[in-house]
Chain A
Amino acid sequence: MTGKLVILRIRHLLQAKFFLFYAIACLLLNVYIADITFANQTYPKYLADFTRDNGIEITEKSIAAGESLEDSLQKNVLVSDLYSISNPWEEVTAKDIYSQLSDLVPMIRNQKLMEQKYAKLQDRIDQIQNQKEYLHLSCGSYTSDIYDSLFSMLMRLVTLEILLYASGIAIWTAYEDRQACTEQSIAATKTGRNIQKTGYIASLILVFATWIFIAGGTFLYLCIYCHLDSFLRSSLSTGFHIRFSSVMPIPFVSWIPLTGMHALQIHLLLQFVLACIFHGISYALSLRQNSSLQTLMTLFSSVLLLFLAAYVFVRTDLFALFELSVWNPVMTAYLEYMWFTDMDLYSVIPMQETWICIVWIIITIVMVLTGLKIYFRKDLNA
């Protein structure tokens, strides 16, 4: 019976045209942005063709192949890229990164945790050198720009879209029967207040479907029409990928070997996990509170407060508190461009964003279960 109810509820929710329009509009916007950012660029396409024939690792053979190409503007850039690559890790160790960063930013930190983190980073740096990942061509001198456009802009936008959808559909579903005054007739049926369980499941399935639609659609468009093959197949820790953090230029390093494609996929996955967290928290709040406006305001002011807290703590050099203030899904989503990198000072421990998500998945489950329990014991009085 529950399965049937969930299906009926999904069909019912699909009648709320606003959410359909929203999803379509999001996908169109993403495609448009991907189009103007990537699809019209000639150099990535040129590299895609080149690496398809000559591999993504720069070798003497590929340099020779590059030189023998027909003369063109792109060829000149390519050849200069092929020659300019060097091993950025020859002089830089993880310890260096840590000491330079910590010299410049006065920190009250857990010294031991930080050392552990950067020791782990050194393992990864050794691996980059052994596997010659730094010799990957990727997008050559454009690598950092492409990375920023893809992860700091497009993927963050997709994340924002999914998170808004997840919260919106949760609040909509939880309050729908109250709004339609059907809550009381339904609560007095055999299914009774279990209706909120099916509502939770149905809206979560819709979050999943919409994520597939928006993020999957954007992803497909990127893969098929944007000629990022070379970037997607190369390691992100290529020698071309230098980050200019606020402190100094640092070669990019992630905590596991990541090609552009892996990073894209993991971003999509983590984005979905965040969506589930946002959905669950919004639903749980809706079960406790008595009006959708109240729930919206609670969510909105919580987000504002979290940003404000992070800002105030960073301004007042209260780094322990600052560290705490990034341990939530809102800041995790906001810091998406830092995901899977261990170079930043926002994370104390390796894989921090993953740990944050695991912790918050647990918090979310607890919140939803207690929310349901509260709803089961609530006077339905609207």
Chain B
Amino acid sequence: MQTDVLIVGVGGQGTLLASRILGGLAVVGGFDCKLNEIHGMAQRGGSVVTHVRLADRVYSPVIEEGGADAILAFEELEALRYARYLKKGGIMIVNRQKIMPTTVITGAVGYPSEAERTLTERYGAIMLDALPLAVASGNAKTVNTVIIGLFARRTGVAYSDIERALELSVKPKLLEVNKKALRAGYDAVL
């Protein structure tokens, strides 16, 4: 058993919590696990990447380019930015959302046109409108959990396992909305 998952997004989108949920899977399944995120600038809307590695024994905390079994992207441009990390045959799940960086807002450069087409055609990305599902679950900030739900479904993780992993990682106060979000992602019709 070895799974390397790269979670990418924009500061504030909850990549760290998503990685904690996958870390919970290691607890449930009895694997070794390493999570790695660069904090610091994360709060300030920068690009954020979190590495999740599950295996019987994990050495490096960092996934190599071309080594990710899965990429979970909470934003389209960030999906493109880190796409080179995807292993051949790996899966990519992308939240259908565009968040303009300042470099685009100030007109210095343009947001990549056809981002979705590149992602689906070149990387076989599964696109999901996670934001409305998150909002319907009661909190727009649960986009991360919605995506985790879909990831679990697509990779054959039992619902009871991912739900247990969620319970291990989320504050009790936020558990109910997150459970709804997880279910919504797991059951999402594309």
User: Are A and B a genuine interacting pair, yes or no?
Assistant: no
Q: Which residues of B contact A (CB under 8 A)?
A: none
Q: Which residues of A contact B (CB under 8 A)?
A: none
